[in-house]
Amino acid sequence: MSEADLTLEQSAGVAAVMEESPFSIPSSKLVMWLFIISDACTFGALLIAYGYIRNSAADWPLVFKSTSIWNALLMTFILVSTSLTVLFAVKASQADDRQAAFRWTMVTAAGGILFAALHIREWMSLIGQGVRLFQNPWGSPMFGAAFFSVTGLHMAHVLAGVVALVVVGSGYKAGRYASVHIEIWALYWHFVDLVWMFVVPLIYLLNMKR
Amino acid sequence: MSANNTNSMRTTYIVYGVILAIAVIQVVVAITMGPSLGRMLILAAIQAYLAGMFFMHLRDEKSNLRLALIPATLFVLVMMNMVWADSFRLISMKPFAK
pLDDT in 10s for each residue of chain A, 210 residues = 566 665 666 655 655 667 777 888 999 999 999 999 999 999 999 999 999 999 888 889 999 999 999 999 999 999 999 999 999 999 999 999 999 999 999 999 999 999 999 999 999 999 999 999 999 999 999 999 999 999 999 999 999 999 999 999 999 999 999 999 999 999 999 999 999 999 999 999 999 988
Judge: B88–A193 Cβ closer than 8 Å, yes or no: no
Q: Which residues of A38-54 are buried (b: 16+ CB within 10 A; e: fewer)?
A: ebbbebbebbbbbbbbb
Query: Are the beta carbons of A196 and A112 closer than 8 angstroms?
Result: no
pLDDT, tens only, B32-86: 998 899 999 999 999 999 999 999 999 999 999 999 999 999 999 999 999 888 8
Judge: A200–B26 Cβ closer than 8 Å, yes or no: yes
Rg over alpha carbons for chain A, rounded to the nearest Å, is: 20
The pLDDT assigned to B95 comes to 60
B64 interaction partners in chain A (CB closer than 8 Å): 22-24
What phi and psi, each to the nearest 5 degrees, are found at residue A173? -65, -35
A47 interaction partners in chain B (CB closer than 8 Å): none
The pLDDT assigned to A4 comes to 64
The pLDDT assigned to B89 comes to 78
Judge: A84–B12 Cβ closer than 8 Å, yes or no: yes
Judge: A197–B87 Cβ closer than 8 Å, yes or no: no
Is A58 part of the contact surface with chain B (CB cutoff 8 Å)? yes
Could you give the CA distance from residue A51 to residue A146 in angstroms, rounded to a whole number? 9
Name the residue in chain B with its Cα closest to that of A187: B56
The pLDDT assigned to A20 comes to 75
How far is the alpha carbon of B90 from chain A, nearest alpha carbon, in Å? Answer: 5
Could you give the CA distance from residue B45 to residue A84 in angstroms, rounded to a whole number? 19
The highest-confidence range among B31-35, B85-89, B93-97, by mean pLDDT, is: B31-35
The pLDDT assigned to B88 comes to 81
With CA atoms as reference, report the closest residue to B22 among A199, A73, A193, A40: A73
The pLDDT assigned to A3 comes to 61
How far is the alpha carbon of B66 from chain A, nearest alpha carbon, in Å? Answer: 9
The pLDDT assigned to B86 comes to 84
Q: What is the DSSP letter of A202?
A: I
Is A191 part of the contact surface with chain B (CB cutoff 8 Å)? yes
The pLDDT assigned to A58 comes to 85
The torsion of the CA quartet A158, A161, A167, A172, rounded to 10 degrees, works out to: -130
The pLDDT assigned to A11 comes to 59
